[in-house]
A = this chain, B = another copy of it.
């Protein structure tokens, strides 16, 4: 929509995701105005946007707080992500099989290569590449609705990962490679199954780290 409000959304979301604004933080409009050097109108619009995305909650006349994000919400999020991404992978592979996609699967393989390389060279870029990989699959599905729903889930997944420190098992990119192959080969069932297992593995890893019970 507007220029400034969008940058405030991006910066504030980044601040929430990277921990500058931890969960339960009370966000005052005046404080954010100081933080970002803008006036209240863009801040208000940004807060409303982030509320729609589920990063903050706002009780009328009682301020805006960063939401808590515990294992329960994480499990819920991963469960939804599983069905969502199985669908993106299945539809992407279907479109490849039907020839609806001219050589657009190249990009996917490039991302896998870059991700594998980044595992050694620049570990801090791995998370972004991971996001790009999944976003690309969603894009290949050709469904704008799917893309927009996925974006919302992905933003929170990113948050989840940012709260952990040195996660992301290295095996992750071999799974990505297998998914890319299945999509490029136009095998919907295989792509969906691999994607489902991949997401499930991520969830298992997360729960393993955060389930002392």
Q: Which residues of A contact B (CB under 8 A)?
A: 1-3, 5, 41, 44-45, 47-49, 51-54, 58, 60, 73, 76-77, 79-80, 83-84, 86-87, 91, 143-146, 148-149, 152-153
Distance (Å) between the CB of A3 and the closest chain B CB? 6
Distance (Å) between the CB of A73 and the closest chain B CB? 7
A1 engages B143 (CB within 8 Å): no
B49 engages A52 (CB within 8 Å): yes
B47 engages A80 (CB within 8 Å): no
Chain B minimum-CB-distance residue to A82: B87
B58 engages A1 (CB within 8 Å): yes
Distance (Å) between the CB of A78 and the closest chain B CB? 9
Q: What chain B residues lie within 8 Å of A153 (beta carbons)? A: 145, 149
Distance (Å) between the CB of A6 and the closest chain B CB? 9
